[in-house]
Amino acid sequence: MQQVDVRTIIPRERHPKIFNVFDNLAQGSAFELVNDHDPKPLYYQFMIERPGLFEWEYLESGPWVWRVKISRA
């Protein structure tokens, strides 16, 4: 599974990069997001912009690293 570590990317470029990776996934595929904070706002953005197209599973929940498996449904 591809890993997308956004901890070193400036904040305003993170979400566009993540959505680009997601949009290029084949159906049924997934990637692992690594972040330095809980990406809950990203989850809500996915709910608005890609409703019914994704699955979200926390693999690690802080306190310093969050890892989330994001799948294309």
Report how far Cα 1 is from the mean position of its chain's Cα atoms: 13
The pLDDT of residue 69: 98
Return all residues near 60 (Cβ < 8 A) that are at least 6 apart.
Answer: 66, 67
The pLDDT of residue 58: 98
The pLDDT of residue 22: 98
E-only strand ranges, 1-73: 2-5, 30-35, 54-61, 66-72
Our count of domains for the chain comes to 1
The pLDDT of residue 17: 98
The pLDDT of residue 13: 97
Q: Which domain holds residue 65?
A: 2-72
The pLDDT of residue 44: 98
Low-confidence ranges of the chain (pLDDT < 70): none
CATH number at residue 67: 3.30.110.40
